[in-house]
Structures are given as structure tokens and as C-alpha cells.
Structure 1
Amino acid sequence: MLPETPLTTVALIAGAESSQLLKWTFSFLTIWLVMNIVYNLYFHPLSRVPGPTSWGALRLRYVWALVNGTIVHDFEKLHQKYGSIVRVAPSELSFTTPDAWTDILQPGHTPPLPKDGRWSIPGIKAQGIVNIVDLNLHGRVRKLIAPAFTTSALRSQEPILQRYITLLMDRLRDIVTTEKNGTDGAEIDVVPWFNFVTFDMLGDLAFGESFDCLQTSQYHSWIALLTNTPKAGAFAAAALFYPLLASTLKYLIPAPLKNKVLDHVRVVSEKVERRLNLESTRSDIMSHVIKQIGNDGLVGLTMDHVNSTFMVLTIAGSETVATTLCGVVNYLAQNPSKLSILAHEIRNHYSSPTEMTLESLKDLLYLNAVIDEGLRLCPPVPWLPPRVAAYGGSVVCGVPLPGGTAVSILTYAMGRDPNNFHDPLSFIPERYLLEAKTDPNSPFFNDKRQSYHPFSVGPRICIGLHLGMAQMRLILAKLVWEFDFEPPTEHKQTRWEKLRTFILLEKNEIYVKLKLRERL
């Protein structure tokens, strides 16, 4: 035992005071937490909205689901239990009712609700077109790039699309014919191949140079950056839900993840600068932007906005199309009767894949119905990142919202809701044919098709809608013309419902057995 001296006495007193301070701090935090929970559950303006107590009391369940990639399926279960409007956090609601599209994104007399700034991509100087919160700034950026995404611009870009899709068919044919001498087909993971073709096309259209994924049959290093950017955004949003702890929580984001996002930004900036300095007369996305810049199209914008927008376009224009194609092909392989109808339509309409054009494919009714059904069951953006209610409050689907309330649309669950679609979990393209829409005796006559908006609505509708549909039509039509599909062996089969989501879908291996089509 230490002898009692003035110094030891001071130390004991200081230790006692520190211990007491810790107790007071712990007691204060406990009281604050309890009061916060009581307020959220019983006195908050949203306390009467249906939802589980554990989600409404604190945001911890929400954040846990977000960083684990289960938020879409967790929300879906909540909607199945509590209905079309669910309180998923103290100040956030999720919607699966069709009216949410207009109330949130396209209201009649007021501006659409702005995006929640917490969902911005971390580590960049300016946000791109998808993540910009300010509606006026978003409008200026959209005006800058809009000419590149018109139907007339798409016609001039068609040769670029055709070239890469033809190369994709060549590569797949090589695999099928070399596997067991081509006698029994080959089980192929279609995820990388759809990523290869969409990534190469966007690289050429946006930057004037392909990533050569199809040429080398390998992933470009940028794809690793691409697939991790949405995940980094989910981690960053999770941290920003706790402003007082954000500076600490941001260090919990894995360093490799942060570095990949920064590398992505750097690569985009270099490619944009190279393309801007390239003398070329061909029509692509950047050629239209260059014209706008020459006409003072950058008024109120910076090159950081341009760089960030092209980074986002690269993700949105490749990953989303690849995701939908993976889902469609996976469902077709598991539904041979639907595949047979599609194959009959395509193979009877064309004598050669070289006859397929963007214009002619628009008229193939079953092809378009298959894509629509794929988008319903496998939306590339399963969960629309939240918007926030206006400062003075808003009303969404009849629910009064205090200012700052976050609201989101769960597109995945909306498309699978039996209140919106007949037999919602089955892959039935016929629900989008004219007869289903006009015949009162059709089981799909009462489907709420107004709930189906895979490209969103309003002033922030996807700018690449026409390009994305063109890519999907061409790739799917040529794939079905060239090959027959079958499900892979059982242990390689994929259930779409098991895939995780970090804003965008995290695709694992998706195998499909491809065989060269039998010709009479």
C-alpha cells in the first residue's frame, strides 16, 4: 500500500472525480437515450405510422441492414407485415404504393422532393447528375448532357453498340464450341460477360476508348472500382446518420474501399480530359458535351461536375443494364416455355442477326414484354435512395410529414406486391402484352402498371432510358438468336431473392447453360 503523501492524496481525489464524471456522463447518456426512445415511439409526428418498434425507436436496425446489404429484403418483409407505408426509422418512411411516384417525384404544384444529401458519393469535390441535391444545379447538368441521349443521337451511336455486341456473341460462341467439342453446351457465368459488353460500350461512347474487356476476356481494373463505389456510398451514408460520431465512424470504412473510390475519380478525370482534347468528328456522348461546352454550357458548373457526372454515367450505364440482363436470362433459363415464345418471335422475324437494328427491335412485342417483366422482378435500382420532405413539411400518400422526413420507394417490393400485380413472383411477360391490358377477363387486367417505373419519373427520370433499352434489346435478341438456354446444374442455380443490395445490386455468379441453337 502506498504511503499517504500530498501527491497520492491529489491522485486519489482526481481518480475519484474522474470516476464520478464517468458515472455522470454514463447516466446522462442513458437518460438521453431513454428519453429519445420514448419520444420516437410515443410523441414523434410519425409515431402513428405502422412499423416495428425496434426500427422506429432508433436508427440502429436501419444502419445495420444498410451496411450488411440486406436493407431491401428487410424492408420487403416489413411491408409484407405492416402494409404499403412503413416507418423504417424514427424520421423515415418507405412506400410501395403507386401514388408515391407522383407525390415524391412528380407532384403537381410543388417541386419534387430533393434527394437526401447523406447519400452522396464520398471523396469527390462535386456530385454528378444522379447525386446532386440542388434541383437547379441538377437541371444545368442535365441540360449539358441531354443532347447525347436523344433518340436521334442514339441512331448515330448504333454502330458502336453493334460492334461490341457482335464481339460478345463471338466470345460466347468460342466458349460453347470449345467446351466438350460443343456437343453439350457450356455452363457460363453471365455476370462478367454482361459487365464486359456494357462497360466496353460505355467506355467507347463516353471516353472514345474501350476498356477492352471483351477483347481480352478479362475485367479491366476499373470494374473493381465500379462495383465498390455504391458500397462505399452505403457505408458513408450510415456514418452520416450520426453527425456527432461521423468523424469517428468514417474511419471504420475500410481503407481499400475509400482508396478505390478515389482511384475511380482519378481515372475518370484523366479519361474525360483525354477525350476533350481528342480531335474527332464521330458522334458519341462526349461529342455532344463538347458542343455544349463550346456554347458556354458550363455556366454555373465546373469540370468537377462534368467529371463526377461521367463517373456516375459509367456506373449507371453499365452496371444497371448488366444487372437487368442477368436477371432476364436467369429467369428465361428457368422458364423454357417463355424462352420458346421469345425464340420463335426473334428467329422467325430475322434470317440473320445482322438484320437486327434498334428501330426494328422496338416493334417486337414479346421481346419488349420480356424486358419489362425482367425490370419488374429484377429492378437494377431495387431501392430508390431517399428524398426529404420540404422545410415546412409535405404530404405523401396522405401522410403529413414534418420537414426533413426522409421518404423512399422500394421498387423491388413494389413490383412483387400482390396488391399491385397478379401472381407477382412468377415470370410472366404476357402481363405486358396488349390483351392483358385491354381484356377484362385477363388475370392481369387489374395489375397496377402505374407502380412500374424502372427508370423513375419526373424531372429526374433516368437520362439514359433510350440507351439502356436499346442495349438490352440488342443483346438479348442476338443472344436468343444464337443460343438455346438451359438452367445450370442445381448447385450453380441462382435465386435472385438472395442477392444483397448496396444501393445497386451486388451480383454473385449467375450461371446459365448455353448451347448453339439447333437449326433445321
Structure 2
Amino acid sequence: MTTLPAIDALLWILGYTTRAISSVAILLVTWILLSCVYNALLHPLARVPGPWAASVSNIWLAWHVKNGRVAELGKTLHARYGPAVRVGPNEIWFSSKEAFRTIYSSGSGFEKSEFYLATALIRPLQVDGRLRVTWPDELDLLSEGDMKRYRVQRRLIGPVYRPNNVLRHEGSVDLVTKRVVKKLRSLQGNEIDLKEWMHLFVVECLGAVVVSWSPGMLDQESDRGTSVHAYNAWRRKSVLGLFPLVPKLESLSMSIGRAFSVVWGINFDAPPKFRPFFPAVGQKIGQRIKVMKQGQKDARTDIAADLVQLHQDRPEFTEAYLRKMTMTNFGAGHETMASTLTSLMTVLGEHPEIQQQLADELRQLNRYPSYNQADRTPILHAVLKESRRLYPVVSMALPRVVPASGARLHGYDIPAGTTVGCNPVALHRNPDVCGPDPASFEPSRWLGDEQRAKTMDMYSLGWGGGARSCPGRHLAEMMVWKMAVVLIREFEICVEAPAEEEMPSYFLSIMTGVKARFQRREQ
């Protein structure tokens, strides 16, 4: 039987615990309120305009990112607030030439922010007591935080991705595009999901060019859910990157990241019949390395062969680098090129008169032309650049960190450590960059006015910014040009596209929900 003193003691303990919890809760609420007041009114960035909610917490931006509204923010925030917009307590987006030059110029000292912890292929090796990270030496070109190491890596792989070497692989693209034409003809104009089919075309081309292999997607008429899976992964990474403490703590326990994803509702299941292609690519390069080690000759002349030769010629290009760089061709290329082709086909389907002009231009070429004939297709280049201007592959600002010297932009003193970047959607639609009617699809803005075309090229973030621009640009441009030529020349493209605001966009952006018909064009 419980005695009265014991009951009194229990009640006292419960009362004390309740008071302690209440005190902690009050202190926590007070701290949150004081932080909000400081961020909104007393923070060094308090003068920078932007949504009030964005000034107090990253939750505002993360909420919009989670809901796929990144491109919409690029279109609306700067129109409302001006060239500098505060999108977080310690982050500013810009849309101006001045900011582009300051942030992305080579040697500016503006290094990548910790947002890229969420995109890293391998989590940091170590997080110290001050939450500083040690990056593994894994040739992770997107997320590499050590600029000295990144520059060494870029110099090593440079010869493989120079234009002259890239053009050696045109024949592989031609073989795939011939199969693509045959398959599309067999569909007899039936409706397809444009994003999925552009993705499977790209993966087939990458397979042929990089490792002389077909993933079988074209034969199966399906990318096996890989584009849907990858886009869901970008949704998660885009939110996670705004809270870099989480990927740091994930280095200690993956359950932390899973719990965060559950709270934010950014977990996702694999699509039905999902089968990734990366394991097969890894197996292919493993076989190539085995042949290399056995001293056997390999007659294949693909990108993997170029990288194997680089490894043999330059021992500092290690076997680990060789494996990772082969995979990077797919990791960096399959979504970005699919995004470029999807937006290109969509805008052409929505502008049949421009599509016809383009088809007339391409009839001057051979059926499967070499890339050396690209200078004979000014309309195609204008259309490609205009579609990339309006629908860049990246919709969020490319985040960089203000160096120790600080920065001054648009009359604001920006302290060291602030995250800054230009939003590609806003920058590309700045009339100072692109001229009048910035939201309209006008390929003619790239033709005739040479100075304006140079300006738009100069202030484009289509291939990244400054020293961190895409090293595989020439390979991607060659492949996209060759695929576009064949598709436009051989087929009339008709599309049904949802409104742009209905297409989700994250850090990486792809037009989704577009239905297309490829109808054989009269030659």
C-alpha cells in the first residue's frame, strides 16, 4: 500500500517536472521570438527587401522549394522587390549584371555554400566540434568544397572534354538517333510523356558515348521510372540544402536525415518497376578496369576509353577518379540534357511557325549531320539558347559565400559569411540582359544584334558560374544539337503542356506533365 508521504513525494516530483518543462518551453519560445526580432530588425541584412517571413527563418524558402515553386519565385520576387531580395535570414538572391560579375568572376573568392552538402555523392568524412566538414577526395565536381583540389581535378580531365576530343564520339550519337527515329515512327504519332522520352533518349546516348552500351530503355519504350525518381530526389536535396546542419549530422547518423525528411514530407517511394541504370554503368566500368589491369587491348573508342588512357598516362588521375568520372558523365548529364531537350521540344510545339522555319533550315543539312555543320544552323542555335534562357536547368540561385573582405552590392554592405547568388530565372529575364519582352519566347533576340547576343551569353548561368562552370559543356552541346537536328527534321512536334505554374521546379528544373506527339514530317 502506498503511503501518504510517498504520494506527496510523487506529486512534488510531477509538479517540479511540469514546472521545469514549462520553464524550458518558455525559454525556447522566448529565444525563438528574440531571434525573429533580431533577424527581422537588427540583422546586418535587415535593410535588404524581401518577404518578412523569409527574414526570420529558412522555413519560408524551404516551404516554397518543397512545393516546387522555385521557378515561380524567380519570376516574381525580383519583379516585386528589385535586384536584391532577402530570401533567408542569411541569404540574398540577385538578378543583376553587377551581382553576376562580383559573385561568379574567377578569383572573386566567393566559394560554394554549404547548400551543396545535400548534393554530395558521399557525405563529409568528418564533422568537427565547430561543425566544419572535411571533404573526401572523391572527384565530386558539383559539390567539391576544396577549390585547390577542384582546380587540379578540372585540369586533369580537361583534355577528355575538349571540343576536338568530344567530336570523336559523334558516330555513337548518330547510331542512337537512327534507332530513335525508327522507334518514334513505329509509334505513328501516339501520345508520349515528353520528359520520360527525352530522358530515355539521353540515357541511351550517354550509354553509347561513354561506355559503348545500351540500357535497353528505347526498346522497352520506358525509362523505368528513373526520371521520376531522380526528380523526387532533387526535391529532397533542394530542401535539405537549406538546412546544412542536417547533412552534417547525417554524417553521424542517417536516421537524422530520415527523420527530417519525414517531418518535411519529402520522403518518397521508388516508382513502379523502377530499375536504376547506375549499377549497370558501374559494372561496365569495373569490367573495363579489369581488362586494363590484365594488360589486354580494348578496341572500344568511347569516353571510358579516354578516361582509362588518362589514368594510364597520369597516375594522379587515380582509379577512384576513373570510376567516379565515368559515372559523373551520367550523373551530371542525364537530367540536365533531358531538361534542355524537354523545354526545347515544348516551346517548338507551342510555336509551330518557328518550328517550321527551323525544319526548313535543317533540310539544308545531311540527314545525320556532323557537328562541324552547326554554324549553318543559326535559327537552331537561337532557339536552343532562347529555350535555355527562359527555362534554365537550375531554378534556384547558385549559392556562394561572401569572403572575409565582405561585399557591397546595390548599396548594401553584405558581411562575410552571407550566402549570395544570382537566380538564373530572374537574371535571364532581366531586360538589361535580354532586352524588351523578357518573358516572351523570341529566338530573334539572338539574331541580328550581335552585342545583345554576347551580353546574354556573358550573363548566362545555363552552364554554371565562373570557375565552377560545367566541364562537360562541349559534350552536352554536341549531343543535344545532334538529337535536336534529327527530331525536328524528321518529325512535326505537337504538344499539350500544363501551365508553367503547375510544373514543379526545385534546384534542378524540368518541365513536367507535357504530352507530345511526333508525327512523321513530309520530306
Write the distance in 1 (CA, Å) between the matches of 2:14 and 2:56. Answer: 36
Write the distance in 2 (CA, Å) between the matches of 1:264 and 1:197. Answer: 13
Task: Note the 1:291-370 alignment, pairs <5 A.
Answer: 291-298=309-316, 303=320, 307-347=323-363, 349-350=364-365, 352-354=366-368, 356-370=369-383
Summarize deviations over 1:237-260 as a string: whole Å, max 9, x none. 244356899774542326975999
- Preserved CA contact (<8 Å) 1:345 1:366: yes
Counterparts in 2 of 1:121 and 1:271: CA distance versus 1, 3 Å: farther
Does structure 1 residue 114 correspond to structure 2 residue 112?
yes
Counterparts in 2 of 1:339 and 1:258: CA distance versus 1, 3 Å: closer
Q: Report the RMSD for the aligned CA atoms in angstroms.
A: 3.1
TM-score normalized by the length of structure 1 = 0.86
- The letter of the residue matching 1:79 is H
Task: Tell me which of 408, 423, 428 is aligned to 1:415.
Answer: 428
Write the distance in 1 (CA, Å) between the matches of 2:69 and 2:245. Answer: 18
Task: Tell me which of 459, 473, 493 is aligned to 1:451.
Answer: 459
Write the distance in 1 (CA, Å) between the matches of 2:287 and 2:409. Answer: 46
- Preserved CA contact (<8 Å) 1:190 1:512: yes
Post-superposition offset of 1:59: 1.6
Post-superposition offset of 1:473: 1.4
Write the distance in 2 (CA, Å) between the matches of 1:110 and 1:423. Answer: 32
SS of the equivalent of 2:395 reads coil
Write the distance in 1 (CA, Å) between the matches of 2:431 and 2:21. Answer: 53
Post-superposition offset of 1:456: 2.6
Write the distance in 2 (CA, Å) between the matches of 1:27 and 1:232. Answer: 32
Write the distance in 2 (CA, Å) between the matches of 1:251 and 1:268. Answer: 31
Task: Note the 1:120-519 alignment, pairs <5 A.
Answer: 120-121=118-119, 124=122, 126=136, 128-176=140-188, 185-220=189-224, 223=227, 225-240=229-244, 248=256, 250-253=258-261, 257=268, 269-278=282-291, 279-298=297-316, 303=320, 307-347=323-363, 349-350=364-365, 352-354=366-368, 356-396=369-409, 399-421=412-434, 422-433=436-447, 435-437=448-450, 450-487=458-495, 492-519=496-523
Post-superposition offset of 1:306: 5.0
Post-superposition offset of 1:506: 4.4
- The letter of the residue matching 1:159 is G
Which one is further off, 423-432 or 283-292?
Answer: 283-292
Write the distance in 1 (CA, Å) between the matches of 2:306 and 2:422. Answer: 33
Equivalent residues, number: 494
- Preserved CA contact (<8 Å) 2:102 2:108: no
Match of 1:180 in 2: none
TM-score normalized by the length of structure 2 = 0.85
- Preserved CA contact (<8 Å) 2:114 2:241: no
Summarize deviations over 1:143-169 as a string: whole Å, max 9, x none. 332222111111211111111111111
Post-superposition offset of 1:62: 1.3
Write the distance in 2 (CA, Å) between the matches of 1:453 and 1:234. Answer: 18
- The letter of the residue matching 1:100 is A
Post-superposition offset of 1:395: 4.2
Post-superposition offset of 1:344: 1.4
Post-superposition offset of 1:329: 1.2
Counterparts in 2 of 1:506 and 1:430: CA distance versus 1, 3 Å: closer
Match of 2:52 in 1: 53
Post-superposition offset of 1:267: 5.8
- The letter of the residue matching 1:482 is E
- Preserved CA contact (<8 Å) 2:110 2:401: no
Counterparts in 2 of 1:218 and 1:514: CA distance versus 1, 3 Å: closer
Does structure 1 residue 103 correspond to structure 2 residue 102?
yes
Specify every segment of 5 or more residues in structure 2 that has no aligned partner in the other structure, as ranges.
Answer: 124-135, 292-296
Post-superposition offset of 1:8: 1.4
Specify every segment of 5 or more residues in structure 1 that has no aligned partner in the other structure, as ranges.
Answer: 177-184, 439-443
- Preserved CA contact (<8 Å) 1:203 1:211: yes
Post-superposition offset of 1:58: 1.6
Match of 2:85 in 1: 86
- The letter of the residue matching 2:438 is P
Q: Percent identity?
A: 23
Does structure 1 residue 6 correspond to structure 2 residue 20?
no
Counterparts in 2 of 1:334 and 1:253: CA distance versus 1, 3 Å: same
